Chains A and B, each alone.
Chain A
Amino acid sequence: MSMSISFSRSSKKYREGELLRGTLNIDSKGLSYNGISLYLEGSVSLQLSAKNVGLFEAFYNSIKPVQLISASLDLRKAGKLNAGVTSIPFEIPLKAKPGQKLYETYHGVFISIQYVLRAELKRSAFSKDLQTKAEFFVEALAPRTDSDPVKFSITPESLDNAKTRADIPKFLIDGHIDHPTCDIAQPFTGEIVVRRSELPIKSIELQLVRVETCGCAEGYASDPTEIQNIQVAEGDVARDFAVPLYMTFPRLFTCPSLLTPNFKIEFEVNLVVVFVSGDVISENFPVKLLRHTPTK
């Protein structure tokens, strides 16, 4: 006896205003039931970082989740199933609660945005009810906004936190980032050129960082965490030889940048240059993500 949900799209990706379609499949040897229902839930769950508020508060002060959508649907009144697989099609409109928007699915460290469809088959008092649930993904589209390339030039002089500039070996690294506002479905691109460097270079990397901010009674708590690190150059690259910056945004762990009264999800890219000596320099670029291209 089993029950499963399958969605009409194999990618399980839907957008606000669309119909969530699919079938509920029940495999049984024949049984009678009191009703079959579907429950759709979408919410933002927020958690405070232990680092900022202490463990005790973090445990108790979990902020109440923000409900984005909630709907239910009775598929069947009481009845009986024949032996074998029974497929019951369903469709539910994806419509946010008044005053809310359907944010894009996101799995972060302190914030996650999740949409779940739950199915329940109720049986008589003496038998156990059947339950199943399945996550589906919401994509939130935004119109394209063009942004101008950002040029950068890194020299010992440009570093903020160096203690004694004199000790730092000479180097000049420049380049640009194509778009500080990125379409999440497109790669992050740019170019880096090592003009000169006294020390051989060991590695050049792009570090994608998320900054999650939860608002609460005590104020804001902001946490930067790494999502991924992508090497763009390995070894001592040729001088005056443009090396592309190219990084694909990972799914689920990134979403369009969000700024709401209760919480914020923002992203940054760090350009990290590691020298053979072990010295590391990095340059930070805040980026704004949006979804312009829908996934097919």
Chain B
Amino acid sequence: MSGWTFRVRDYAQEAAQSALPREDATNDHPLLRQQPQATRATATTASASTAATTPTATQSVSDDPLADPLSAVEDDPLASSETPHATTGLYSAAGEMDESFEPWECKVPGILARYTTSEKLSLASNMLGGKGPSMSGDTMSDKVKSRLEELEGDEEQELDELTQQEFVARIEKLSRDLTVAWKKEQRVNAIKLVIQSSKLLGKTEVLKFYPSKFVLISNILDTFGDLVYGRLVAKANESFAQQGRRAKLPVDFTPDMVPPGAREICQNWFFKVASIRELLPRILVETAMLNSYRFLGAIDIDATLTRLTSQIRGVGDPLVAAYCRCYLARVAVRVAPRARAFLMPLFRDLMATMKQVSTDHVRRQLKEQRISTGEYMHIFSPAIDWIMQCVAHKADAATLREIMDTCQANKGSSVLLNAVIASFPTGYVSRRATQFISLIKEAPDTGLPKFQLFRTLGLNVCMSPPPDQDRKAILNEVWNAVTKLDAPDEYVACAEAWIAYPIKYFSPKQVNTMLGDIVAHMSRGRAYSQHYGQLMSILSKLLTHMHDFSALFSMDNFLPFMDLFQEAEVKAESAKSVMEAFAQHQRDETADQLVLSGMMYLCKVAHDSLNAMTFEDERKRVASLIIAFLTKAAFGRNFEAALEFFVEARGNFSNLDAVLKYEVHRVNALIMQTHAIVKGKHNRKTSQFVRSCIAFTFITIPTISDYIMRIKLYVASACVAIVNHALSQADVFVQAAIDLIPDLPERIDVDMTMELIDPFIADGVETMAGALLMLPDHPEKDRLFLHKHLFTTIKEREWKRPECYCRALLSLIRMLGGLAQPSYLYGADGVEANDALYASSPKFMGDVSTMTKAVIEELFAVMKEMPPGQAKTAALCDTFDTLARTGDMQQAEAAQLAADFAVLARKQSSDASVRVQQTLSELTRTHVPGAEDLALLCA
């Protein structure tokens, strides 16, 4: 092969030549000119990019530069649609019930789960069967007699004894039967089914199951109410159609829109219901149909609700009556949320009938079913809670006062007290917290357990602050009682509600005390293992309210509290939630040792929970949380402490590449920080420190499993070492990077797909080649030892994609071109690179030239082997481009060599001409000597 010489470059002149033309910034920014009335957004860009200080621009900059120009638009078209539309009539629900009102549906699962039984429940085997009302006998006495028989007849009817599951299934079937009967137009059967179902609510033979039974049967009633309503709407639409009107009854219709036919049918339904003989079904079915009153004009819904309220007074059993009231309130909330007049009478009746609990009738029942008065009261609680919620929702002061008085008068009822605390406005309860505490204390032990009351109270006082002067007394009073609770589930239920209290109103000291108490209670007999859910909730409350991590970790009970999470999975989850809160809320760096060591411990817990089964996403999450923590660790100028910290971190988080990589970068940054402080001139002490840092990175990098990341880190660390005059260490880094290449696998995992590693190696070689320019040859080794080593290493590798190999080789050409210059393009301050070392000595230049020749030969060889195609064309063009730019084109041999590649490229594809031409014209434009001759050779 013929000879090759590199062109000698004048980097300074080239830089000046290729730089874009510059002008001084003027006031007349082109963007400003286009839009004389500068909007905020463009003005900000203008000022940022040109530092122009036009009056308009500065004015705008004072505004938030990130502010969205759209934010000025106040009439959001979407927002308007959310405003409640005009409500029509009494019945409309819009805007009456806000989120502070817990809907019935939310309570249902709790009720069904709480009120269960193992007793047998009886149910008539055939709901439609049985004797109809007997019509025999005309005289009065006959009638009465037969009716009495009928009343007794219920017991004579064939009854099935069912388990709870069977009962539930039967009721669900009943509900389906109802819909089926309705669809088949068997409306008499449908109403019979509903009446029979509602009669079931009159039976209290299994008290413990009653609330659940109520839930099930009230569903049937709701279904029936909806069916009737739907039928009436359909009827109305039918008559519209008959009149040839295409109109449909609107959702918010008023009675005057209802056609007479539909109104007549509606009237008939209500007459039918009014003639139901028995009281309970009559009230329940009418209540279920309340919504259909909308079809009748001139019906005062308030009066109707009040009337139904007073009719319920006829229901003798207090429990049945309470749930009947509950159903009325439930339907009213849905159908006529604005109707309130009936609520207080309803509540007063409820309270009045609570006295019946002590009657013989009820006592006998309790004795038969072996239920204590306390348990019996508990059965009332869903109904009382619901009614209380309805009464108290947006109630005026007078109403609240009346309820409060009732509550005080009924000292015996903890169920009522609990309902009051739960449903009253939180502010109201909080203001009177001390009063409530004494009420709770006075409440008898029968009824709801006290912890429940304390818990409910806790939720209130945490939500809205009690008066300043009471706060301490409240905490002391309550906690004195709570801490005496022996049952861990009762205790933790209270603790969960109360933990926010000291956080919100007191210093961490009190929080710490409470945490200590929690730890003490929950450690007894490993109670914690049963209550991870509640403990987790306590933790999340701590983290939501305490964003000061110094305060958090300064509580000496915090880590013992964290230790309560023993089970591996929960332990890791708890640690992660602290880490997440830290990542989110710790804004500034911290030097607080307690925080650092505490967080280090928790991060280690999270890290150690990772294993081969862990999902990649989870690994990433943990890694980013650990990094978020490491980022916030500050050491000021105590560099040694920082290094120690990272040594510890490396030991703790050895399984996460991302974290290790972060540590390497941080330690390199430490070196550069010291470099900046000593202004590039290390003293003995600092250079020792630098060496320990380098030692750190040098042993950390091999622990990273990602090879490519390792190469990049080696090169980066090598550069840091060169800059800090640690040349032998830099040598070792580069050597290590090069030595990695033979071991590299064929493919690597890139975002879950296995890809060929070749492009990544080429990238690595490129960065290495760049770094090698700065690094002077080792005095005891051959000239260009590392450079040659790199070349032979990549030469020995079996490349799957030759174009990548080609790219690597070309980067070597460029490196060699750099090395051949009398003065290098870049270097480290105070480090004599090869330019100074050899001063372009012939021996050195000869070595460069020899190596170059070898590389070019290798290039030829690769090209020859490459199969034709786009990749080959591109590789040829690239080679031509590199050679033409680096070589001395005045030398005929060099020019000819470059031209050969251009000719080869053109042979491959006509597309190549364009690229060759691009290179040529650029060389000509920048006045590279010999460019014209080269163009001729290439033609």
Residues of A within 8 A of B (CB): 9-11, 51, 200-204, 207, 209, 223-226, 228-238, 241-244, 246-248, 250-251, 270, 272, 274, 278, 280, 296
A-side contacts of B280, CB under 8 Å: 234
User: Given known contacts A203-B151, A251-B271, what 7 new A-B pairs fall within 8 Å (CB)?
Assistant: A225-B138, A228-B277, A231-B278, A234-B314, A236-B359, A248-B274, A280-B148
B846: chain A residues within 8 A (beta carbon) = none
B261 lies within 8 A of A243 (CB): no
Complex contact A237–B140 (CB within 8 A): no
Interface assignment of B361: CB less than 8 Å from any CB of chain A: yes
Query: Given A209-B140, A234-B316 in contact, is the A241-B352 Cβ separation under 8 Å?
Result: yes
**Interface hub of A207, A244, A272, A274 (most chain B Cβ within 10 A):** A244
Report yes or no: B140 in contact with A224, Cβ–Cβ below 8 A: yes
CB contacts (< 8 Å) of A224 on chain B: these are 140
Q: Shortest beta-carbon distance, B723 to chain A, in Å? A: 94
A-contacting 9-mer, from B63-71, B179-187, B305-313, B862-870: B305-313
Minimum C-beta distance from B50 to chain A (A):
80
Check A242–B140 contact: CB distance below 8 A.
no
The CA-CA distance from A234 to B298 in the complex, in Å, is: 31
Q: By the criterion CB–CB under 8 Å, are A231 and B279 in contact?
A: yes
Compute how far the CA of A233 lies from the CA of B151 in the bound complex, rounded to whole angstroms: 14
Interface centre among B261, B314, B355 (most CB of A within 10 A): B314
B317 contacts which chain A residues (CB < 8 A)? 235-236
Partner of B314, one of A225, A232, A248, A296: A232
Known contacts A238-B356, A248-B275, A274-B148; decide if A226 and B140 are in contact (CB<8 Å): yes
Q: Please indicate the chain A residues that have their CB under 8 angstroms from the CB of B307 in the complex.
A: 244, 246
Name the residue of chain B whose CB is nearest to the CB of A109: B138
Shortest A14–chain B CB gap in Å is: 14
B143 adjacent to chain A (CB < 8 Å): yes
Residues B279 and A238 in contact, CB atoms below 8 Å apart: no
Contact check: which of A10, A231, A235, A280 meets B144 at CB < 8 Å? A280
B143 contacts A226, C-beta separation under 8 Å: yes
0/1 per residue, B260-274, Cβ < 8 Å to A? 110010000001001
Whole-angstrom CA separation of A210 from B466 in the bound complex: 66
In B312-335, which residues have CB < 8 Å from any A CB? 313-318, 320
Contact of A200 among B261, B298, B361 (CB under 8 A): B361
Q: Is the CB of B264 within 8 A of A231?
A: no
The answer to the question of B202 belonging to the interface, with a C-beta cut-off of 8 Å to chain A, is yes
The answer to whether A235 and B315 have CB atoms under 8 Å apart is yes
Please measure, in the bound complex, the distance between the C-alpha atom of A247 and the C-alpha atom of B315, giving whole angstroms: 16
**Pairwise interchain contact A278-B140, C-beta atoms closer than 8 A:** no
Q: Which residues of B contact A278 (CB under 8 A)?
A: 148
Do A11 and B264 touch across chains, with their CB atoms under 8 A apart?
yes
- Minimum CB distance partner of B364 in chain A: A200
Is the CB of B147 closer than 8 A to any CB of chain A? yes
Distance in angstroms between the alpha carbons of A248 and B144 in the assembled complex = 20
Interface pair A272/B275, CB less than 8 Å apart: no
Name the CB-closest residue of A to B138.
Answer: A225
Q: A236-B359, A251-B271 are in contact. Are A244 and B144 (CB under 8 A)?
A: no
Nearest residue, chain A, Cβ from B314:
A233
User: Which residue numbers of B lie inside 8 Å of A, CB to CB?
Assistant: 138, 140, 143-144, 147-148, 151, 202, 260-261, 264, 271, 274-275, 277-280, 282, 297-298, 307, 310-311, 313-318, 320, 352-353, 355-356, 359-361
Q: In the complex, are the beta carbons of B271 and A248 less than 8 A apart?
A: yes
Which residue on chain B has the smallest CB distance to residue A246?
A: B311
Chain A residues with CB under 8 A of B282: 230-231
Q: Which residues of A contact B310 (CB under 8 A)?
A: 244
Query: Across the interface, do A242 and B313 meet the contact criterion of CB distance under 8 Å?
Result: yes
Given A9-B260, A11-B260, A243-B314, A234-B279 contact (CB < 8 Å): yes
| Central interface residue in A51, A200, A231, by most chain B CB within 10 Å | A231
Interface majority SS on A: helix, strand, loop or mixed? strand
Among B274, B353, B355, which residue has the most Cβ atoms of chain A within 10 A? B274
Please list 10 pairs of residues, one from A and one from B, whose beta carbons are closer than 8 Å in the complex, sorted by A's number. A230-B277, A233-B313, A234-B314, A236-B317, A244-B310, A248-B275, A250-B271, A278-B148, A280-B144, A296-B297
Residue of B nearest to A274 (CB): B148
- Given known contacts A231-B279, A280-B144, is B271 in contact with A237 (CB within 8 Å)? no
Q: Is the CB of B313 within 8 A of A228?
A: no
Q: Which residues of A contact B143 (CB under 8 A)?
A: 207, 226, 229
A281 to B165, CA, bound (A): 43
Q: How far is the CB of A142 from chain B (nearest CB, A)?
A: 21
Report A-chain residues with C-beta under 8 Å of the C-beta of B140. 207, 209, 224, 226, 270
| CA distance in complex: A185, B316 (Å) | 29
Name A12's closest neighbour in chain B (CB-CB).
Answer: B264
- Bound together, the chains give a CA A236 to CA B318 distance in angstroms of 10
Cβ A244 vs Cβ B271 within 8 A = no
Are B361 and A244 touching (Cβ within 8 A)?
no
A212 to B333, CA, bound (A): 46
Known: A9-B260, A226-B140, A226-B143. A238 touches B355 (CB 8 A): yes
Q: Which residues on A sit within 8 Å (CB–CB) of B355?
A: 238
Check A238–B352 contact: CB distance below 8 A.
Answer: yes
CB-based contact A241/B313 at 8 Å: yes
Alpha-carbon gap, A227 to B320, bound state (A): 29
A235 and B316 within 8 A (CB): yes
Residues A244 and B314 in contact, CB atoms below 8 Å apart:
yes
In Å, the complex CA distance between A220 and B310 comes to 43
- Are B297 and A243 in contact, with the CB atoms below 8 A? no
Residues of A within 8 A of B320 (CB): 235
On whether the beta carbons of A238 and B353 are closer than 8 Å, the reply is: yes
Chain A residues with CB under 8 Å of B278's CB are 231, 234
Q: Is the CB of A241 within 8 A of B315?
A: no
Tell whether, in the assembled complex, residue A229 and residue B147 are in contact, meaning their CB atoms are under 8 Å apart.
yes
Tell me, in angstroms, the Cα distance from A9 to B267 when the chains sit together: 15
Q: How long is the Cα–Cα vector from A274 to B150 in the complex, in angstroms?
A: 13
Given contacts A241-B353, A274-B148, A278-B148, contact A228 B275 (CB under 8 A): yes
Q: Is the CB of B277 within 8 A of A237?
A: no
In the complex, what residues of A have CB within 8 A of residue B151's CB? 202-203
Inter-subunit contact A250/B316 (CB<8 Å) = no
Nearest chain B residue, comparing its CB with the CB of A242: B313
Which are the 4 A-B pairs with shortest beta-carbon distances?
A235-B316, A233-B314, A248-B274, A231-B279
The listed residue with most B CB atoms (<10 A of its CB), out of A11, A241, A251, A272, is A241
Give the docked Cα–Cα distance between A185 and B883 (Å). Answer: 110
Query: Nearest Cβ in chain B — how far from A281, in angstroms?
Result: 11
A234 x B264 contact (CB < 8 A): no
B138, B277, B311: the one within 8 Å of A229 (CB): B277
Residues of A within 8 A of B264 (CB): 10-11
Let me know if B359 and A232 touch, CB within 8 A: no
Closest to B355 in A: A238
Within the complex, the shortest CB–CB distance from A256 to chain B, in Å, comes to: 18
Nearest CB of A to B569, in Å: 54
Tell me the bound Cα distance from A11 to B359 in angstroms: 50
Looking at B143, B264, B279, B318, which has the most chain A CB atoms within 10 Å of its CB? Answer: B279
Instruction: Select from chain B the residue with minimum beta-carbon distance to A226.
Output: B143
* Residues of chain B within 8 A of A207, CB atoms compared: 140, 143
User: Complex: how many Å from CA A248 to CA B314?
Assistant: 16
Given contacts A203-B151, A226-B143, A230-B277, is CB(A236)–CB(B297) below 8 Å?
no
- A7 CB, nearest partner CB in chain B, Å: 11
- Shortest distance from the beta carbon of A75 to any chain B beta carbon, whole Å: 24
* Among candidates B260, B261, B313, residue contacting A244 with C-beta atoms closer than 8 Å: B313
The docked-state distance in angstroms from the alpha carbon of A231 to that of B277 is 6
Closest B residue, CB atoms, query A227: B275
Which residues from B are CB-within-8-Å of A237? 313-316
Q: Judging by beta carbons under 8 Å apart, are B316 and A201 in contact?
A: yes
A42 shortest CB reach to chain B, Å = 22
- How long is the Cα–Cα vector from A186 to B486 in the complex, in angstroms? 61
Contact flag A236-B361 (CB < 8 Å), given A9-B260, A278-B148: yes
Distance, CA A50 to CA B313, complexed state (A): 43
Q: List the A side residues contacting B144 at CB < 8 Å.
A: 272, 280
Within the complex, the shortest CB–CB distance from A40 to chain B, in Å, comes to 23
When A10-B260, A228-B275, A238-B352 are in contact, do A233 and B148 touch as well, CB less than 8 Å?
no
Nearest CB to that of A234 among chain B residues? Answer: B279
